[in-house]
Amino acid sequence: MGLEEKVRIIMDHRESKSRIAELLKEKGAVVEIAQLPLGDFILSDRVCVERKRREDFEQSIIDGRLFDQAGRLSRFSEKPILVVEGERFEERVSRAALLAAIASLMLDYGLNVFFTRDVEKTAEFLFAIAKREQLGEKKPMRLIGEKHAYTPSQQKRAIVETLPGVGPKLARALLAKFKTVENVMTADVERLMEVEKIGKGRAEVIRKILTEEYDEKEDNVEI
């Protein structure tokens, strides 16, 4: 296989300590390490993959990180994929909550969710997708960026989706209620609670992120 026919995978630097790079290279992939703005692997111009161990997947449901990450991933990748790795869940959340989270990821955020048994199976899956995209579909590689030019209304929704706990559907509901991004950002807790599915807790979290001062030291902490 010539260099031009090699499968190329861009991997986030935080994954460099795992065995995945070694396993992908054994399969013939060229692995490049980069500091990705989001996701863990870029497999083609349109495919970005986030990898989570099952215990981290459960914890991200509990602390709310999962849907914030899903919103960002779906905005910046045409074909976002979440790989959940590990043989069993730790049962910190109920089966019903797990199924609801997976359904939301697929239906509300457009993520493809794939489960693997271990790191070897994850590498096998990543290589198969990258090979099909690059050698079968002949799609170019690049670091992740905007997937298309947004309309003004889509730009407004994308801004509102950056709020904690707000996905595409809730962003639409907020804009339908308040009409402008400015009105959403200045609404108090009571007004926010007038929107379906926004309780007091979520409204207070939104107001906190909008009103508390920026912490430069905190911003230097790698997420």
- Delimiting residues of CATH 3.40.50.10130 domain(s) in the chain: 3-136
Give the model's pLDDT for residue 146.
Answer: 44
| SS3 state of residue 36 | coil
Least confident of 39-43, 85-89, 138-142, 164-168: 138-142
Close Cβ partners of 209 (under 8 Å, ≥ 6 residues apart) = 163, 164
Q: How far is the C-alpha of 177 from the C-alpha of 153, rounded, in Å? A: 14
Whole-number Å distance between alpha carbons of 34 and 50: 15
Alpha carbons 167 and 155: distance in angstroms, whole number: 14
User: Per the confidence metrics, is the pTM higher than 0.75?
Assistant: no
From the CA atom positions of the chain, what is the Rg in Å?
Answer: 19
Q: What is the pLDDT of residue 31?
A: 92
Which position has the higher pLDDT, 77 or 126? 126
| Residue 176: band (very low, low, confident or very high) from pLDDT cuts 50, 70, 90 | very high
Give me the pLDDT at residue 218, please: 64
| Alpha helices (H) along the chain | 20-26, 54-63, 65-76, 95-107, 119-131, 152-161, 168-178, 181-186, 189-192, 200-211, 216-219
Q: Find, among 138, 134, 158, the residue nearest to 146 by Cα.
A: 158
Architecture per CATH, 3-136: 3-Layer(aba) Sandwich (3.40)
Q: Is pLDDT of 212 > 70?
A: yes
The gap between the terminal CA atoms of the chain, to the nearest Å, is 38
Judge contact between 124 and 90, C-beta under 8 A. Answer: no
Q: At 90, is the pLDDT very low, low, confident or very high (cuts 50, 70, 90)? A: low
Has residue 3 got a pLDDT over 70? no
Residues in Cβ contact with 33 at an 8 Å cutoff, skipping those fewer than 6 apart: 11, 12, 13, 16, 21
* Closest listed residue to residue 134, CA positions, set 8, 1, 13: 8
Tokens of 32: 């490049």
Which tokens is 165 given?
């706990």
Residues of the chain with CATH 1.10.150.20: 152-212
Q: Kindly indicate the confidence band of residue 221, based on its pLDDT and cuts at 50, 70 and 90.
A: very low
Contact in structure between 76 and 146 (CB atoms under 8 Å): yes
Question: Could you tell me the CA-to-CA distances from 45 to 80, 113, 139 in Å, in that order?
Answer: 11, 19, 6
- The confidence band for 1, taking pLDDT boundaries of 50, 70 and 90, is very low
Task: Look up the CATH superfamily of 152-212.
Answer: 5' to 3' exonuclease, C-terminal subdomain (1.10.150.20)
pLDDT, tens only, 178-189 = 999 999 999 999
Cα angle value 119/124/126 (rounded, 5°)? 95
Residue 164 or 173, more confident? 173
Q: Looking at residue 186, what is its pLDDT?
A: 94
**Where is pLDDT greater, at 51 or 140?**
51
What are 10-31's pLDDT values in tens digits? 999 888 778 899 999 999 999 9
